[in-house]
A = this chain, B = another copy of it.
Amino acid sequence: MRRTLTSALPHATPGEEVRLQGWVHRRRELAKVTFLVVRDRAGLAQVVLPAGTELPPEETPIEVVGTATANAQAPGGVEVTDATVTALGEAADTPAVELWRPTLETGLPTMLDHAATTWRHPVQRAKWEVAAASLRGFRETLDAQDFTEVHSPKLVEQATESGATVFEVDYFGRPAYLAQSPQFYKQVLVGIFERVYEVGPVFRAEPHDTVRHLAEYVSLDVELGFVRDHHEVMECLRDVVAGMVEGVRRYAGAAVERLGIDVPDVPEKIPTLHFRDALEIAGAPSDEPDLSPAHERALGEWAMAEHGSDFVFVEGYPTANRAFYSHPDPEDPRWSRSFDLIFRGIELVSGAQRMHRYDEYVRTLEQRGYPYAPYASYVEAFRRGIPPHGGFAIGLERWVGRLVEAPNIREVTLFPRDLHRLAP
Enumerate chain A interface residues (CB-CB to B < 8 A). Answer: 3, 21, 23-24, 40-41, 59-61, 88-90, 92-93, 95, 116-117, 119-120, 125, 128-129, 131-132, 135-136, 139, 143, 146, 148-158, 167-172, 174, 176, 178, 185, 188-189, 191-195, 199-201, 203, 205, 207, 215-216, 218, 225-226, 251, 356-359, 377, 381-388, 396, 414-415, 417, 419, 422-424
The answer to whether residues A383 and B41 also contact, given A148-B128, A170-B168 and a CB cut-off of 8 A, is no
Instruction: Give Cα A207–Cα B128 distance, bound, in whole angstroms.
Output: 37
The answer to whether residues A226 and B116 also contact, given A149-B132, A157-B423, A423-B377 and a CB cut-off of 8 A, is no
The answer to whether A152 touches B414, judged by C-beta atoms less than 8 angstroms apart, is: yes
Q: Which residue of B lies closest to A60 (CB)?
A: B385
The answer to whether B154 touches A216, judged by C-beta atoms less than 8 angstroms apart, is: yes
Query: Which of B3, B385, B415 touches A59 (beta carbons < 8 Å)?
Result: B385
The answer to whether A89 touches B385, judged by C-beta atoms less than 8 angstroms apart, is: yes
Interface of A is mostly: mixed
Query: Which of B89, B156, B171, B207 touches A356 (beta carbons < 8 Å)?
Result: B89
* Chain B nearest Cβ from A377, distance in angstroms: 5
Listed from nearest, the 5 A-B pairs whose CB atoms lie closest are A92-B385, A61-B387, A59-B385, A116-B188, A41-B194
| Chain multiplicity (copies) | 2
Instruction: Give Cα A119–Cα B192 distance, bound, in whole angstroms.
Output: 6
Q: Which residue of B lies closest to A56 (CB)?
A: B385
Instruction: Give Cα A215–Cα B89 distance, bound, in whole angstroms.
Output: 37
The answer to whether A218 touches B151, judged by C-beta atoms less than 8 angstroms apart, is: yes
Instruction: Give Cα A136–Cα B116 distance, bound, in whole angstroms.
Output: 28
Q: For residue A226, which residues in chain B have a CB less than 8 angstroms away from its CB?
A: 3, 21, 61, 88
Q: For residue A386, which residues in chain B have a CB less than 8 angstroms away from its CB?
A: 61, 89
The answer to whether B384 touches A195, judged by C-beta atoms less than 8 angstroms apart, is: no
The answer to whether B90 touches A381, judged by C-beta atoms less than 8 angstroms apart, is: no
The answer to whether B41 touches A422, judged by C-beta atoms less than 8 angstroms apart, is: no
Q: Give me 21 A-to-B residue pairs in the complex whose CB atoms sit less than 8 angstroms apart, sorted by A's number.
A: A41-B193, A61-B387, A89-B386, A89-B388, A90-B383, A92-B383, A93-B383, A95-B384, A116-B384, A128-B148, A150-B414, A151-B201, A153-B216, A156-B423, A157-B422, A167-B169, A167-B170, A168-B170, A169-B178, A172-B419, A381-B424
The answer to whether A88 touches B191, judged by C-beta atoms less than 8 angstroms apart, is: no
Instruction: Give Cα A384–Cα B171 distance, bound, in whole angstroms.
Output: 37
